[in-house]
Amino acid sequence: MAAAVAGETAVRLHLVAAWRESTVFTEAERAALTLAEEGTRLADVHPGVSDETWARVREHYDDDQIVALVSLIAMINATNRLNVIVRNPGGSYEPGMFTGLSS
């Protein structure tokens, strides 16, 4: 929802789940999505992030951007797991609801 408010198109948002089969994502976005997928699917006996994926990510992002990307992936994973543990259903987020919490 925040992405839509920030100007992301509905088409791209709806195609995230099928990103491998879609044509709306750049090579840099595909590298980031691959990193997120491989870094997330550990419970599926996934071997983790492959050397090929790291090479693709490094083609598109510098070290600071990679740190930010990995941190974001980790935070999304942590939030998803916390929501499962406390049985917080998805869909309750409203754009801006956390604005001002850090002040």
Residue 22 has pLDDT above 90, yes or no: yes
Q: What angle do CA 18, 19, 24 make, to 5 degrees?
A: 120
Is 28 within 8 Å of 61 (Cβ atoms)? yes
Q: What angle do CA 54, 3, 70 make, to 5 degrees?
A: 25
Percent of the chain with pLDDT over 70: 96
pLDDT tens digits, one per residue of 47-69: 789 999 999 999 999 999 999 99
CB-based contacts of 94: which residues, under 8 Å, 6+ apart? 1
φ/ψ region of 89 (left if φ > 0, alpha if ψ in -120 to 50, else beta) reads beta
pLDDT of residue 55: 97
Q: What is the pTM of this model?
A: 0.73
pLDDT of residue 45: 65
